[in-house]
Amino acid sequence: MKKQIFYFTGTGNSLSIAKKIHNNLKDYSIHSIAAEGYLAEEETEKQIIIVTPVYMHNIPYIVRNFIQDLHGTGFCSMIFAGGGELGKCIDIIEKMFSDKFISLISQFNIPMPSNYTPFGAPDQEIQKKLFNKAHSRIGEICQMISEKKVHTDDSNTSFFSRNIHPGIAYSMGYKYLSYLGKSFTVDSKCDSCGICARICPVDNIQMNENKPIWFQNCQQCYACLQWCPKEAIQYKNKTSSIERYRNPEVTLKDIMTSNTKTSRE
């Protein structure tokens, strides 16, 4: 049986959790969905773990597509390394696995600092608490996964916020995630280094006359805005005075590697 950890990340939270799981479960291999998504198509028996952020109470499109393409038999555990408010993620994942030969055995909610900068930067003390709490759960989660224990964490989202407000706003907004890349702007601090275009997991950015331009396939991972060394990328002019967020255990090189497609040889 193939044992594999798959992750998607923009600012490193999901990668840091995936690495910690990997340190505990050394017989698993670790793969980036953005770099090697095609592994989903393998018709093998597998035990897999998927680590993902949460966007607008939902799952990133790239992770949804990965799960849709997932073939073979075996077991899957989901780990949400979002901001803690899962909204409809647990129900959506259950539905997605209902017609697969891979059984969904567990879903875990590991709250991490929010990288949604338009709402403000996460407080340093809160970050520390979240990292400590996350770290302290890893051993228990790995144990449950190895024992194939059936388990579902709480979505930490009230009925009101799941279905009324912001539920409605999020459900409507989620459909337009891919177009929201057009809301990014670049200011005069840009020195044309091209990092934003190289770091984007879906090649949604191109350099045009030495400045980035965004297309309409954005995942809203915020890698471009958060990793720009000059803090020159803004979201609808709301972010110029807000500190950037990047997981402290992850480097620019890690994210570059995670988000660069490997060849399909």
Peptide bond into 166 cis (omega under 30): yes
Per-position x/- string for 191-230, each x denoting binding to ligand SF4 as judged by CB under 6 A, each - no binding: xxxxxx---xxx-xx------x-x---xxxxxxx---x-x
**Of ligand SF4, ligand FMN, none, which one sits near residue 74, judging by CB under 5 to 8 A according to partner kind?**
none
Per-position x/- string for 223-262, each x denoting binding to ligand SF4 as judged by CB under 6 A, each - no binding? xx---x-x-xx-----------------------------
Cα–Cα–Cα angle for 46, 67, 182, nearest 5°? 145
Q: Which parts of the chain are beta strand (E)?
A: 2-7, 29-32, 45-52, 73-80, 102-109, 151-152, 184-186, 205-208, 211-214, 233-235
> Which of ligand FMN, ligand SF4, none binds 104 (CB below 5-8 Å, type-dependent)?
none
Interface with ligand FMN (CB under 6 A), residue from 5, 81, 196, 199: 81
- From 68-76, 114-122, 193-201, 204-212, span contacting ligand FMN (CB under 6 A): 114-122
Contact call for residue 112 and ligand FMN (CB under 6 A): yes
Q: What is the total count of residues that contact ligand SF4 (CB under 6 A)?
A: 28
Q: Are 17 and 247 in contact (CB under 8 A)?
A: no
What single DSSP character describes residue 109?
E
190 binds, among ligand FMN, ligand SF4, none (CB under 5 to 8 A by kind): ligand SF4
- Give min distance, CB of 221 to ligand FMN, in A: 6
Question: How many Å apart are CA 88 and CA 32, to the nearest integer?
Answer: 24
Q: Do residues 8 and 52 lie in contact, with contact meaning Cβ atoms separated by under 8 Å? A: yes
Is residue 234 within 8 A of residue 190, CB to CB? The reply is: no
Q: What is the CA radius of gyration of the chain?
A: 18
> What are the residues binding ligand SF4 (CB under 6 A)?
10, 181, 186, 190-196, 200-202, 204-205, 212, 214, 218-224, 228, 230, 232-233
